[in-house]
Amino acid sequence: MPAETHVERGPLGPEEAFALVRERLAEILDIDETRITRESRFSEDLEADSLALIELVEALEEELGERTVGFSVDDEDLADLVSVGDAVDYVMARLQVASADS
């Protein structure tokens, strides 16, 4: 059985959200996770293009959709996500909305 099936699926805190965003972004950009901080800007610091951000959103929706029913990222909000910290804050806000709706 894959290790992922044994992962705790409880509420996600800011540090866990950051770790998830950092891990998925490192995979998508094929860079070392240590290059990614909360202050890292997607395009300027990490050279992430819009396709990479869409891949990140899809990965987050897949992962977090398993944890929280109704978790989604609105396409029109992508332009507001400039840094990794913005993405983490957005994820936390969306998780609160999804939890309140369920």
Q: What is the mean pLDDT of residues 49-76?
A: 89
Q: Does pLDDT of 97 surpass 60?
A: yes
Query: pLDDT value at position 31?
Result: 98
At residue 10, the pLDDT reads: 62
Among residues 45, 49, 74, 86, the one annotated as catalytic is 49
Is the pTM higher than 0.75? The answer reads yes
pLDDT value at 57 more than 60: yes
Query: Mean pLDDT over all residues of the chain?
Result: 87
CATH 1.10.240.10 given to domain 12-101: no
Taking each helix axis as running N to C, give the angle between helix 84-101 and helix 14-29, from 0 to 180 degrees, rounded to the nearest 10.
120
**Confidence grade of residue 6 (pLDDT, cut at 50, 70, 90):** very low
All structural domains of the chain with their residue ranges: 12-101
| Active-site residue flag, 49 | yes
d(CA 54, CA 62): 12
